Amino acid sequence: MHITHTPLHHTRHARLPRHLKALIAALVLIAPVMAAGVSNDLPREQEFIITAYYSPKPGQCCYVKGGYRADKILNGEGMRGADGTAVYPGMIAAPSSYAFGTVVALPGIGRFTVHDRGGAITELSDGAHRLDIWVGEGEEGLARALAFGVRRVRGTVYEKGGFQPKERFSLESFPAVLDRLEPFLVRGQDLLSVQVKNGDRGLSVETLQRSLKQVGFFDHVVTGLFGTVTQESLARFNDAYGLAEPADHLSERSAAYITAAVRRVEAKPPVIRNVDKSAQSSVIRTAQRTLRFLGFYKGRTDGVYDDMLADAILTFQQKQQLVGTAQDPGAGRIGPLTRGKLKTEWNQKLVDDLADRLMILHRVEVLLDERGKNLDQFLSEGDSGKQVTLLQRLLADRGYFPREKLNGYFGPQTKESVLRYQMDRDLVASEVSTGAGVVGPQTLKNLRGEERYDAYQLVRSEGWRAL
């Protein structure tokens, strides 16, 4: 029996039309591109470790790294992202593998667009990716970033070029907890060191409001927001103390006067009893000293009520419009109304003098900062650079560090020197105390204060050129 096999292919191939060959070739070329495009366009889930950052401003009450310069290094210049986009709520910093324009949706937080990078914003070894959300500027931004903390969230990534949902994020959803700033205070609540203006919100504004409340010019709830109420209160204070200063922001002079007035709040009045011929000599001497301090009396402090003292009292009363002539009731004698005016004028004069000293101290500190003679960041073991060299020099000036070993590295010897300095000044109790051997807020404040005082004494004795 003869079996005929039918081959599955012919020995001679049939020719394909040219147009089919061209179509197949085109499909082969574009297939990988189409496959890649489909993959990139699809949203994907990703585990994220999320923090927040802010734009530091000069004149804040506090900085997370101790100073404006150090916070700028940590957070960047704070003006634009790495792609040139001006900072705004809703932008994030992401690892370099994320193209600018990528959108990331984070459940419970919002939807954000990648416009920035960061040295610590990387893909972690456990598979999670770091993200940093911009949450504002100044003290309010820092407070919000600290309150945000660190969060682990599983989110969705929408690549640029594919479908992307719109951004959705509101700063109002994330409160700026101003109490979070207090651990970072270096200069205390020093109004001269801060720059606040209408519209600002922060711990510095709270300090201003509390200070104005202490001296009787702010009778509202302390909110930390510099609005109309704060501006009106500041205007009333300036007017009461004869200051031709603006009220839409806190000037250096206004800050000095408010600080001085707060320090005088608990002061006792200079004259607490009536003064006339029947007064005790000790009471009369107090009146003589007070009137001399105010520029109305030029006689002796002898406790004698005489015509010279009576004339001085009369002149003061006439200036205060308490009496018109020597024949008016109470003229030349100190009673309740005159005592009240004496207290006001006496307090005003002391506030004037103290405010002048405070402004000189502040200018000394500014000059030290400008010349790089003040520490302006927190330091700990392992740090290095000019700030560490300055720390070692300051410790050497105080006998805590060998001057010949200045090297700009914060090692065990520097740590031990810092610890001895702290213990001698009762900043820590022992080497196991919190902050021991570390230049944190209190130690930095102490070192800066000592440098300022020494420089102030030098200016007083030798003039500004001595600096």
My answer on whether 159 and 189 are in the same domain is: no
What tokens were used for 72? 């700028």
pLDDT greater than 90 at residue 316: yes
* Element of type H or E holding 365: helix 336-370
Model confidence at 392, in pLDDT bands (50, 70, 90)? very high
User: What value does the mean pLDDT take over residues 116-141?
Assistant: 96
Instruction: Assess whether 129 and 156 both reside in one domain.
Output: yes
* Per-residue pLDDT, 360: 95
Residue 16 has pLDDT above 80, yes or no: no
Do 65 and 160 sit in the same domain of this protein? yes
Q: Of 40 and 354, which is predicted with more confidence?
A: 354
pLDDT of the residue at 18 = 55
Mean pLDDT of the chain: 91
Residue 30: inside a domain: no
Residue 65 has pLDDT above 60, yes or no: yes
Is 461 a domain residue? yes
List the structure tokens of 155. 């989110």
Q: Residue 13's pLDDT is what? A: 43
**Which of residues 121, 148, 179 is at a domain's end?**
179
Taking the CA of residue 254 as centre, how many other CA atoms within 13 Å lie in the half-sphere pointing to its CB? 25
> Containing domain of residue 388, as a range?
371-466
Question: pTM value?
Answer: 0.80
**Quick one: average pLDDT of 305-321?**
96
The confidence score (pLDDT) of residue 17 equals 52
Closest-CA residue to 183 (of 391, 362, 378, 50)? 378
Verify that 431 and 458 share a domain, yes or no.
yes
Q: Which residues of 76-108 are buried (b: 16+ CB within 10 A; e: fewer)?
A: bebeebeeeeebebbbbbbeeebebebbbbbee
Out of 341, 366, 391, pick the residue that ends a domain. 366
In a domain, 14, yes or no: no
Q: Are residues 334 and 393 in the same domain?
A: no
The pLDDT assigned to 322 comes to: 96
Average pLDDT rounded to a whole number, residues 162-168: 95
The CATH number of the domain holding residue 102 is 2.40.40
Average pLDDT value for residue range 459-465: 90
Same domain, 50 and 172: yes
What are 30's two structure tokens?
Answer: 């574009």
Number of domains in the chain: 4
pLDDT at residue 224 in the model? 96
Q: Assess if residue 276 is contained within a domain.
A: no
Q: How large is the average pLDDT for residues 113-133? A: 96
**CATH code, 222:** 1.10.101.10
pLDDT of 15 reads: 54
Regarding whether 434 and 309 lie in a shared domain, the answer is no
Q: Is residue 399 part of a domain?
A: yes
For 208-227, what is each residue's pLDDT tens digit? 999 999 999 999 999 999 99
Mean pLDDT, range 181-209, rounded to an integer: 92
CA 373 from centroid of its chain's CA atoms: 20
- Residues 187 and 124: their CA atoms lie apart, in Å, by 37
More confident residue, 258 or 464: 258
Q: How confident is the model at residue 20 (pLDDT cuts 50, 70, 90)?
A: very low
Q: Higher-confidence residue: 370 or 19?
A: 370
Average pLDDT over residues 424-441: 96
Report the pLDDT averaged over residues 371-393: 96
Alpha helices in 61-217 (DSSP H): 68-75, 138-148, 203-214
* 240, burial (CB in 10 Å: exposed 0-12, middle 13-18, buried 19+): middle
Does pLDDT of 321 surpass 80? yes
Residues 354 and 403 in one domain: no
- Tens-place pLDDT, residues 243-298: 999 999 999 999 999 999 999 988 888 999 999 999 999 999 999 999 999 999 99
pLDDT at 340 exceeding the cut of 60: yes
Same domain? For 230 and 129 the reply is no
Residue 33 pLDDT: 44
What pLDDT is attached to residue 465?
Answer: 86
CATH of the domain at 361: 1.10.101
Q: Is residue 111 part of a domain?
A: yes
Tell me the per-residue pLDDT of 84-117, one tens digit each, with 9 for 90 and over: 999 999 899 999 999 999 999 999 999 999 999 9
Could you write out the DSSP letters of every residue in 389-402? HHHHHHHHHTTSS-
Q: Does residue 324 lie within any of the structural domains?
A: yes
Last residue of a domain, one of 306, 341, 366: 366
Residue 200 forms part of a structural domain = yes
Could you tell me if 70 and 140 lie in one domain?
yes
pLDDT at residue 75, as a whole number: 87
Q: Identify whether residues 134 and 58 lie together within a single domain.
A: yes
